[in-house]
Structure 1
Amino acid sequence: MLKLFKTFSDCWCGATFAGDSKKKALPVRRVAAIESSPQRISLSNFSNSTTPLTPEDLSLSLAGSDLHIFSMEELKAITRGFSTSNFIGSGGFGPVYRGSVDEKLRPGLKPQSVAVKLLDLEGSQGHREWLAEVIFLGQLKHQNLVKLIGYSYEEKHRLLVYEYMSKGSLENHLFKSVFVSLPWLTRLKIAVGAAKGLAFLHEADKPVIYRDFKASNILLDEDYNAKLSDFGLAKDGPEGDETHVTTRVMGTRGYAAPEYIMTGHLTAKSDVYSFGVVLLELLTGRCSVDKNRPNREQNLVGWAKHYLFNPNKVDRIMDPRLDGQYSTKGAQMAAKIAYQCLCHSPKSRPDMKAVVEALEPLLDLKDIPMGPFVYTVVTENGGGEVREKVQKNEESSERKEMGEVKESGKRKFVGHRHKIKFSQSCVQSDTALYKVYRSNTPRKLTPPEK
């Protein structure tokens, strides 16, 4: 396992930044500049231009990508006219609807469910954020980035078409009471996947700073594979002798790095800090900022950092919904990684490649207690019903009678079987998940797609 730092004392020292060089504007002639370079197109190719971007400009510039250009009418058809029955949710960008596509709509399109996002012109994000999504996700391909299938650009209409992520966002699973608590190995799997996504962005030929890494932007597929979404605030990283990018402070409170908030200086280490916050959320089950808690516990980092560096105190901050069903060694190491990511000095934080190398082996640890074993029956409508819950740990290896009650001459045994209904069919035991992930999760990093 990679050793990230020699001591913990490096983490909370004062931060200093050197160098304040600014990027030079790229040529206004967009298409000519792009055709002469094999490198990824930068967002600045468009945003620094003094001429309006036309749909033709965008289409020509991304001619080498596999993006499909849809008409507004086509997207209306696949979402049933953006009906309420197809509505998934909404955010700063606008509403999102579910739809389906196949080769009848476009040759080469495999049959699949999609998510169609509409830009709300009166929302908090605008054309620049929409364009950033198209530019970045149209060119960057990786198993831990959500796939952009296509877009629509007609008059005032701006739409994006993504692969559908059936398990929704990490935020919903961690903080919404209607969702069953995620088991330990699932949380680790999500952390590793999200870390790989960030590492891919930071190590690209032209680095990308995500700038808005948070639980709501981590989407999960059917197998709980994590994928980064919402690249509206992403920025091209520093190049050459530059040490950082200077930009207007944007992002989400509770996740942004302190030096970015204070100076507007943005680096890949800013994303590392945000990852540390999300890793802390996975460990504790608490939101980065929670005004419903006592004053000293409202800011997650401020409350938890005193426990992270002491292995004997980590259990005090672990999510109680895990009910002790987690690897003690894994939790202690994950807490150590979170602590290092949250260092006040950006220079003292690890890079995301080092984080991946430190996190991934934790999936193989065997010291997970044998907990309650839950059987799930999937119904036709996608719901689930827990039929049995039988205690399997050593203390209850011998069946104990909880009591006998006589009613009408019949005997009933209490406490042995339960019947509990859940709205989702994702209830599983950590023991079962361990067996699946232990055998299927590779220890080596998967080379990023180029």
Structure 2
Amino acid sequence: MVDSSIMGTVSPKCLRRFVQIAGRCVHIVPKQRPAMTEVVALLQALLELQEKSKDFAQSSGIMSFPWKMHKYFASNSDQSGTSSPKSVENNMNQQELMTRDLKMFTYNELNLATKNFGKAAFFGEGSCGKVYRGWVDNFTYSPSVSITKLPVAIKKLDRYKVFDLEMLNGVRHPNLVKLIGYCLESGCLYVVHEFMRRGTFEDLLQRGAVAGLPLLKKVKIVVGIARAIDFLQKTWPGVGQSWLGRHMILLDEDFTTKLSDYDVGYMVNGHHRCAYLDTDKVQLVLQCDPSGYEVIFIEVVTGERLYNLHRVKRIDGFFTQSGKESLSHIARLCLEMCNDDDSELKMLTILKEHDKLIQRSKKLVA
């Protein structure tokens, strides 16, 4: 049922979500009801979404509903109406994390999605914290215990310096791992990303799986990485000097390639950590820039893990001595053309001309 006085003034999408929020607030199980701070964030998100629909309503001759959230909802009081230093801090953190594009998960939802953060859900641990795999509904992102649903990666950050969602939403790209949502619980920040089923480029490379890929799939991988690097350099100052780890390159089932952890690293450190280059120019320390991309490009094309610059120069020299362009040069071309509509076709054409040499380069003595 909808009040006839507001009929037609609320977009169907927003109206449906308002009803969903109301339903959660009167859930038969009290523990499943959202906290007031979550309700505030969800309503704020919907109000902003409704603002986007206002132009459509006006162009259709419909008077838009004058949505406005009173300052009361953004106050630092807890649900009992009293204030305390802890409640003020928690509510300030919740206000900081508000966004219209991300889902605010409750801890209970993540607990359900990961089956109590059990051993079966534990996926690994990095410098930023532990990673778990969970399952959510494909459309609503509600937690699910069924492995037929959408898998997600849940990272528990025991510490973080900044969580600027306004900025993070500005660095969304098809070749960056998607940030789906977050949860703040007892001082810990949980961030939820899409799960990339084929894992990391580093693991595939070490297992020899990259070497056996068809050239078409290799082209898809290198173009995807190029697009991500190009986008990051243009939109996120300082990322060019940061680390380009092979474990940060993830692949999905169809070999769509995405870079990860640049958002998490920024949250934890408050800035992009620089990759300090080896002054002797022997060890390969890869940066998220053209020089780092050239190495990754050669590794994808040849399927060989490169451990030092001498090997890179050896492979490039083999191609130039054979009258062809070096793979480093082709990598730079790929970066330049990666955003063209036919970039994959162009790169496939170029690499086909080098395919025989690529196969022979694998037999070069280190």
Output the TM-score relative to the length of structure 2.
0.56
Q: What does residue range 50-129 of structure 1 map to in structure 2 within 5 Å?
A: 54=89, 56-61=91-96, 63-102=98-137, 103=140, 105=142, 112-119=150-157, 121=158, 126-128=159-161
* Partner of residue 305 from structure 1, selected from 309, 313, 318: 313
Structure 2: gaps of 5 or more residues: 1-85, 144-148, 282-286, 357-366
> 2:69: which partner in 1?
none
Query: Which protein has greater RCO, CA pairs closer than 8 Å, 6+ apart?
Result: 1
Q: Classify 1:83/1:180 alpha carbon distance in 2 versus 1 (closer, same or farther; 3 Å).
A: farther
Distance 1:280 1:179 in 2: 11
Q: Which amino acid aligns with 2:299?
A: E
Over the matched positions of the two proteins, sequence identity in percent amounts to 29
Q: Which amino acid aligns with 1:287?
A: R
Q: Which amino acid aligns with 1:154?
A: E
* Partner of residue 335 from structure 1, selected from 319, 328, 333: 328
* Contact 1:166–1:222 under 8 Å retained in 2: yes
Q: What does residue range 129-278 of structure 1 map to in structure 2 within 5 Å?
A: 131=162, 137-176=168-207, 181-204=212-235, 207=237, 209=239, 211-231=242-262, 232-234=264-266, 250-251=274-275, 257=277, 271-278=289-296
Task: Note the C-alpha offset of 1:89.
Answer: 2.6
> 2:301: which partner in 1?
283
Distance 1:200 1:104 in 2: 27
Distance 1:192 1:104 in 2: 30
Task: Note the C-alpha offset of 1:172.
Answer: 1.1
* Contact 1:146–1:227 under 8 Å retained in 2: yes
Distance 2:334 2:97 in 1: 30
Distance 1:368 1:313 in 2: 15
Task: Note the C-alpha offset of 1:302.
Answer: 2.6
Distance 1:104 1:248 in 2: 29
Task: Note the C-alpha offset of 1:104.
Answer: 7.5
Distance 2:290 2:210 in 1: 28
Distance 1:141 1:201 in 2: 10
Q: Classify 1:135/1:190 alpha carbon distance in 2 versus 1 (closer, same or farther; 3 Å).
A: farther
Q: Which amino acid aligns with 1:363?
A: L
* Contact 1:193–1:226 under 8 Å retained in 2: yes
* Contact 2:265–2:272 under 8 Å retained in 1: no
* Contact 1:195–1:352 under 8 Å retained in 2: yes
Q: Which amino acid aligns with 1:275?
A: Y
Distance 1:149 1:196 in 2: 21
* Contact 1:309–1:335 under 8 Å retained in 2: no
* Contact 1:117–1:159 under 8 Å retained in 2: yes
* Contact 1:132–1:233 under 8 Å retained in 2: no
Q: Which amino acid aligns with 1:71?
A: T
Distance 1:179 1:366 in 2: 16
* Contact 2:96–2:163 under 8 Å retained in 1: no
Output the TM-score relative to the length of structure 1.
0.47
SS in structure 2 opposite 1:100? strand
Task: Note the C-alpha offset of 1:359.
Answer: 6.3
Q: Which amino acid aligns with 1:90?
A: E
Q: Classify 1:152/1:282 alpha carbon distance in 2 versus 1 (closer, same or farther; 3 Å).
A: same
SS in structure 2 opposite 1:224? coil
SS in structure 1 opposite 2:196? coil
SS in structure 2 opposite 1:84? coil
Q: What does residue range 258-407 of structure 1 map to in structure 2 within 5 Å?
A: 271-289=289-307, 299=308, 301-309=309-317, 311-313=319-321, 332=325, 334-338=327-331, 352-353=335-336, 360=344, 361-364=346-349, 367=352
Distance 1:178 1:189 in 2: 15
